Amino acid sequence: MAAAQGRLSEGAEGMDSTEGNAAHALPLPFRAATDALRGARLRPEIEVEQVRAPKKLAPYAYALEAAVVDDGNDLADGRLVLLHDPSGHDAWQGTFRLVTLVRAELEPEMAADPLLPEVCWSWLTGALQARGLSYGEPSGTVTRAGSHFFGGLAERAPASQIEIRASWTPREGMGGVPDTASHLIAWCDLLCQIAGLPPTSTPDASVVSLPQRRGPQAP
């Protein structure tokens, strides 16, 4: 496994959430939380890079994008954003918030399963619980979409995609800092599960992944 920090794209490392803020001017809890994200050790199938974070969601933010890559194919991808408001936020019930988008292509038989949205949501909560993480105020949506192609694209087979948008409040530990590294690892567990990869540890009989897809993911 490689550290997330070692997978950052060239020039991205050191880019803070608020332009014009020097790293030493950032709140200590936020600095500790982002340092932990950069030091997290992830599965080799996960490719991660830091990207520009949104500016309007919180005073401080840090964003990562990740893809599950197997045999040169992108099987799933997503974005994880860490938000921090030192004054706290009523809706968050804390000073930190994690916001995510995860998406993957679906096999036709999986796309037709009426229980798929509920199952995908349970994968998110299950990934956090499996890592023993404490969190609160979860919310989100699971969207299933289908595409049919016509005209010059008529030869392409119909495609389906699942998309999870979610946010939750990681419980803060010593110094008011949540265990962001473990939350990132749990999020990567979700990415791998939705990509159809087997778990790295002994699988639980109740955990089912999507069938692994081999074709490249549509943009």
Predicted confidence (pLDDT) per residue in 56-71, tens digit: 999 999 999 999 998 8
Which of 48-52, 140-144, 196-200 is predicted with the least confidence, judged by mean pLDDT?
Answer: 196-200
Across 33-42, 56-65, 69-78, 145-154, least confident range:
145-154
Query: What average pLDDT does this structure show over 209-218?
Result: 41
HSE of 148, CA atoms in CB hemisphere, 13 A: 0
| Residue found under tokens 């009989």 | 205
Between 186 and 219, residue with greater pLDDT: 186
Bridge partner residues of 13 (DSSP):
none
Residue 16 has pLDDT above 70, yes or no: no
Which amino acid is present at 56? K
CB 169 within 8 A of CB 93: yes
pLDDT higher at 177 or 201: 177
Q: Please give the single-letter amino acid code of residue 47.
A: E
DSSP letter assigned to residue 121: H
Long-range contacts of 26-32 (CB under 8 A, 24+ apart): 26/60, 27/60, 27/84, 27/86, 28/175, 29/84, 29/86, 29/95, 29/96, 29/172, 29/175, 29/176, 29/177, 30/60, 30/62, 30/84, 30/86, 32/175, 32/177
